[in-house]
C-alpha cells in the first residue's frame, strides 16, 4: 500500500497546474464556507444580543390582557402604579434592573410634511438606561433626563422626517381615554441603534411627559428586566414566584425569546439557507474534484491497465485515486482555511460595510449594515474535514471507472 500512496502523491505533482487549479477551486469553496458561516453566526448572535439590548431586555412583565393585544400597543391594559412599585422591589430582590415602558402609536410630522407612523415609548430615562443600551447610541444631542420635555428620535426618523436636533415635531396620538392629543415636541437627541426595528420605528419621551399629556396616571404597559448574569434564569423563576406570592396574578412574564419569536423563526429558516450555501460549496468542491479525477483516469487508462497487468489489485488502484483526490482535498482545504482565517480576521476587526446595498432593506437580521464575523474554530475544523471528505467521496466514482474497463482494452487504449 505504501508504494500506491507514494505513486498517488507523485501523480499529484504530475500535472501541477491542474492540481493547483482544482485546489484553488476547493480553497475558494472552503474560504467562503468559513467566512459566510462566521458572518451568519455573528449576525445571528448579534441579532439575539440586540433583541435583549434594544427591544425586550431579558424578559418583560405585563398584564395578561396586554400580552394578548401587544401588537396594537393599548394604553388601557396596563400595570398600575402600586403594582409597579411591587415589581421594583421584586427586581431588587432578584438582583435585576427593571424599566417601566409604555409604547403607543403616534403620527409624527415635521413642518408641513405628511405624518409618519412611529411607536413612541414613554420611559424613565434613568431606569431605561440600566436595561437598554439606547443611551450609548446617542449620536447627536443628548439622552433624555427625567424632566425632559423633548423627544429622542432615531437617525432613520431624522432622515425620514427631515428634522434635526432642536427642531419641533408634531406628535398626534390618543390618550388613555381615547381622546386625540397633539403635541409639539423638541428633538433633544438623535440615536443610531444597530437594531433596524428600533431604528426605524421607535422614538422616546419621558414618562413624566406622557403622564401629563396622555393621562397615563403612573401606569406602565410593561416592565422590562435585565438580569445581572445576562441569562433569563434564575431571575425569571424568582420573579414568577414573587409575582404569585405578592398576589399579582393578573400579570404575566414573557422572555425575549417569546417576544422575539418572529425573528427566531426567521433565524431557523435562515439556517436552512446556510445549509444551501454549504450544499453549493459541496457542488463547487465536487465538480472540481470529479473533473480533475476523471481527466486523470482518462489520460491514465493505459497506465492503469499496465498496473493491473503487473498484479496491482483493483481496490489498490481505486485507493490510489482516492489518496490522490484526498491530497488535492487536503491542499485545497488547508489553503482555504488560511484564506478563510484571513478574510474572517478582516471581518472580525473591521467588518464589511453593506450600507449601500442594505440601506433601506429589511434583511431579517436585527443588526446594523456593517457585518462583522465571529471566530468559529469548530466550523473551521469542520470545513477542512468537509473539504477532504468531499474530495474523497466524489473521487470514488471516477476511481471505480478506472478499473471497470477490461485490462486488455485499457492497455490498447489510445
Partner 1 sequence: MAIIKCKNVFKDYKVGHIVVHALKDINVEFKKGEFSAIVGPSGSGKSTLLNIIGCLDKATKGEVILNDIPIKDQDKNVLADIRRDHLGFVFQTFNLIPVLTAFENVNFVLSLKKDSSAEENRKKTLKILEEVGLKGLENRRPLDLSGGQQQRVAIARALVKEPALVLADEPTANLDSHTGSEIMQLMKDLNKKKSITFIFSTHDKMVMEHARRIINLRDGMIKNGKGGK
Q: List the one residue out of 9, 35, 6, 5 whose CA is nearest residue 337.
A: 35
**Residue number with CB closer to partner 1 (301 or 335):** 301
How many residues are there in the chain? 414
Q: Does 406 bind partner 1 (CB under 8 A)?
A: yes
Whether the CB-CB separation of 109 and 125 falls below 8 Å is answered with: no
**Residue number with CB closer to partner 1 (112 or 414):** 414
Site for partner 1 in 177-236 (CB under 8 A): none
**Residue number with CB closer to partner 1 (93 or 313):** 313
CB 384 to partner 1: min, Å: 27
**Residue number with CB closer to partner 1 (136 or 299):** 299
Site for partner 1 in 295-324 (CB under 8 A): 302-303, 305-314
Cell representation of residue 404? 471497470
Q: Does 20 bind partner 1 (CB under 8 A)?
A: no
What is the greatest pairwise CA distance in the chain? 99
CB 14 to partner 1: min, Å: 5
CB 46 to partner 1: min, Å: 51
Spatial separation of the C-alpha atoms in residues 285 and 28, rounded to whole Å? 9
CB 399 to partner 1: min, Å: 16
Q: Does 11 bind partner 1 (CB under 8 A)?
A: yes
Whether the CB-CB separation of 135 and 190 falls below 8 Å is answered with: no
| 219 Cβ neighbours under 8 A, 6+ residues apart | 75, 78, 79, 80, 81, 84, 102, 176
**Residue number with CB closer to partner 1 (194 or 305):** 305
**Residue number with CB closer to partner 1 (236 or 399):** 399
Q: List the one residue out of 192, 38, 169 whose CA is nearest residue 108.
A: 169
The number of beta carbons lying within 10 Å of the beta carbon of residue 256 is 22
Spatial separation of the C-alpha atoms in residues 55 and 255, rounded to whole Å? 11
> Phi then psi for 346, rounded to 5 degrees?
-60, -45
**Residue number with CB closer to partner 1 (247 or 311):** 311
Interface residue with partner 1, options 5, 65, 290, 407 (CB under 8 A): 407
CB 409 to partner 1: min, Å: 10
Report the interface residues with partner 1, using CB under 8 A. Answer: 2-3, 7, 10-11, 13-14, 302-303, 305-314, 406-408, 411
Amino acid at each position: 500500500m505504501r508504494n500506491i500512496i507514494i505513486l498517488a502523491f507523485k501523480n499529484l505533482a504530475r500535472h501541477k497546474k491542474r492540481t493547483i487549479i482544482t485546489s484553488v477551486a476547493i480553497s475558494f469553496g472552503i474560504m467562503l464556507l468559513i467566512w459566510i458561516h462566521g458572518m451568519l453566526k455573528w449576525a445571528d448572535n448579534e441579532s439575539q444580543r440586540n433583541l435583549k439590548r434594544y427591544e425586550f431586555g431579558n424578559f418583560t412583565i405585563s398584564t395578561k390582557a396586554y400580552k394578548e393585544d401587544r401588537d396594537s400597543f393599548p394604553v388601557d391594559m396596563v400595570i398600575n402604579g402600586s403594582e409597579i412599585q411591587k415589581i421594583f422591589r421584586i427586581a431588587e430582590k432578584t438582583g435585576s434592573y427593571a424599566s417601566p415602558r409604555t409604547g403607543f402609536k403616534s403620527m409624527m410630522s415635521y413642518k408641513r410634511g405628511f405624518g409618519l407612523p412611529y411607536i413612541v415609548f414613554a420611559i424613565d430615562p434613568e431606569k431605561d438606561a440600566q436595561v437598554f443600551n439606547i443611551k450609548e447610541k446617542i449620536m447627536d444631542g443628548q439622552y433624555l433626563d427625567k424632566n425632559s420635555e423633548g423627544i429622542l428620535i432615531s437617525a432613520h426618523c431624522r432622515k425620514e422626517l427631515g428634522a434635526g436636533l432642536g427642531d419641533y415635531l408634531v406628535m398626534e396620538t390618543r390618550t388613555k381615554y381615547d381622546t386625540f392629543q397633539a403635541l409639539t415636541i423638541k428633538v433633544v437627541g438623535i440615536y443610531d441603534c444597530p437594531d433596524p426595528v428600533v431604528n426605524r420605528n421607535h422614538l422616546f419621551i419621558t414618562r413624566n411627559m406622557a403622564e401629563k399629556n396622555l393621562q397615563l396616571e403612573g401606569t406602565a404597559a410593561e416592565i422590562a428586566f435585565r438580569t445581572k448574569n445576562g441569562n433569563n434564569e434564575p431571575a425569571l423563576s424568582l420573579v414568577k414566584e414573587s409575582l404569585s406570592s405578592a398576589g399579582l396574578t393578573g400579570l404575566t412574564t414573557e422572555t425575549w425569546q417569546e417576544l422575539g419569536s418572529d425573528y427566531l423563526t426567521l433565524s431557523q429558516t435562515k439556517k436552512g439557507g446556510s445549509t444551501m450555501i454549504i450544499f453549493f460549496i459541496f457542488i463547487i468542491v465536487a465538480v472540481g474534484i470529479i473533473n480533475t479525477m476523471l481527466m486523470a483516469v482518462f489520460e491514465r487508462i493505459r497506465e492503469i491497465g499496465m498496473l493491473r497487468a503487473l498484479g496491482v489489485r483493483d481496490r489498490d488502484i481505486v485507493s490510489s485515486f482516492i489518496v490522490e483526490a484526498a491530497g488535492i482535498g487536503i491542499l485545497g482545504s488547508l489553503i482555504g482555511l488560511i484564506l478563510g482565517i484571513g478574510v474572517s480576521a478582516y471581518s472580525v476587526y473591521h467588518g464589511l460595510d453593506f450600507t449601500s446595498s442594505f440601506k433601506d432593506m429589511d434583511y431579517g437580521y436585527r443588526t446594523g449594515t456593517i457585518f462583522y464575523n465571529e471566530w468559529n474554530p469548530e466550523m473551521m475544523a469542520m470545513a477542512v474535514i468537509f473539504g477532504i471528505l468531499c474530495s474523497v467521496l466524489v473521487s470514488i466514482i471516477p476511481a471505480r471507472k478506472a478499473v471497470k474497463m477490461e485490462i486488455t482494452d485499457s492497455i490498447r487504449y489510445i
